[in-house]
């Protein structure tokens, strides 16, 4: 199983994500934003958190137009798996791979703390290690995590069971408490909370580990 983690100038959760993938059994390649190709046979791409390109223009906007993101789009459009965390979620909305946008937090403050989440669906390779409705605790660390989409898009996300995670106690003003969503083929996940920061005992919290373990189990089966 191969994972690729994209690295932009300003990414700062790339190594955390790589370690989470490695602990789950993936061979991980770090891929620089100027690269024009992904390593052969990549099963999943991780788009990490951070402040790509200094959040210039809009969070994720410049990264979404970088050379490697053209390859990211091809990978996703061909049915490949992608997980985008925090700034990675912002990049995925800017590429159009996920609907909506992330606005400035309603309270205007950068928020860095562990928050309760409710699992919205167990029907994805990312979330099948949880039960629907299960409450978990995952760290958030963002200034622009206020999920916005028009009412029709929000209705469609709910009708198609594509809300992966909701905030238990909405910290940032996100529409319908949405913390993470799936693409229409359920193979692209974007979420503001950081499961890779709660993935081993040394973190003091392993509530995010099932995301990586479930991915490993699912993708291993595909290859075997």
Residues that bind another protein (CB under 8 A): 57-58, 61, 65, 93-94, 99-101, 103-108, 146, 148-149, 173
Active-site annotation holds for 86: yes
Residue 36's alpha-carbon distances to 90, 167, 175, 194, in angstroms, are 21, 36, 35, 27
Q: Which is nearer to another protein, 57 or 112 (CB)?
A: 57
Q: Which is nearer to another protein, 21 or 167 (CB)?
A: 167
> In the complex, what is the shortest distance from the CB of residue 57 to another protein, in angstroms, rounded to a whole number?
7
Active-site annotation holds for 69: no
> In the complex, what is the shortest distance from the CB of residue 10 to another protein, in angstroms, rounded to a whole number?
18
d(CA 104, CA 146): 6
> In the complex, what is the shortest distance from the CB of residue 61 to another protein, in angstroms, rounded to a whole number?
7
Phi, psi angle pair for 171, to nearest 5°: -90, -15
Which residue is catalytic, options 196, 200, 203, 220?
A: 196
Residues contacting residue 127 through CB under 8 Å, at least 6 positions apart: 119, 120, 121, 164, 165, 189, 211, 214
Which residue is catalytic, options 59, 69, 86, 142?
A: 86
Strand partners, 105: none
Q: Which is nearer to another protein, 12 or 65 (CB)?
A: 65
Active-site annotation holds for 196: yes
Q: ∠ CA(49), CA(133), CA(193), 5° rounding?
A: 10
């Amino acid at each position: 199983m191969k994972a690729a983690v994209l690295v932009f100038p300003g990414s700062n959760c790339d190594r955390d994500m790589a370690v989470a993938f490695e602990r789950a059994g993936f061979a991980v390649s770090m891929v620089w934003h100027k690269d024009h190709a992904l390593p052969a046979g990549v099963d999943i791409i991780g788009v990490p958190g951070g402040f790509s390109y200094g959040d210039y223009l809009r969070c994720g906007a410049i990264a979404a137009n970088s050379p490697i993101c053209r390859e990211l789009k091809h990978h996703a459009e061909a049915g490949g798996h992608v997980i985008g965390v925090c700034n990675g979620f912002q990049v995925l909305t800017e590429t159009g791979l996920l609907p909506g946008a992330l606005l400035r937090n309603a309270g205007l403050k950068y928020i860095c703390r562990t928050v309760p989440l409710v699992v919205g669906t167990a029907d994805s390779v990312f979330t099948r290690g949880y039960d629907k409705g299960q409450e978990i605790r995952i760290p958030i660390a963002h200034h622009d995590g206020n999920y916005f989409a028009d009412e029709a898009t929000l209705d469609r996300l709910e009708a198609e069971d594509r809300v992966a995670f909701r905030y238990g106690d909405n910290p940032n003003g996100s529409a319908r408490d949405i913390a993470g969503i799936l693409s229409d083929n359920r193979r692209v996940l974007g979420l503001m909370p950081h499961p890779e920061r709660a993935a081993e005992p040394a973190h003091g919290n392993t509530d995010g580990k099932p995301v990586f373990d479930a991915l490993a189990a699912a993708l291993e089966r595909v290859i075997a």
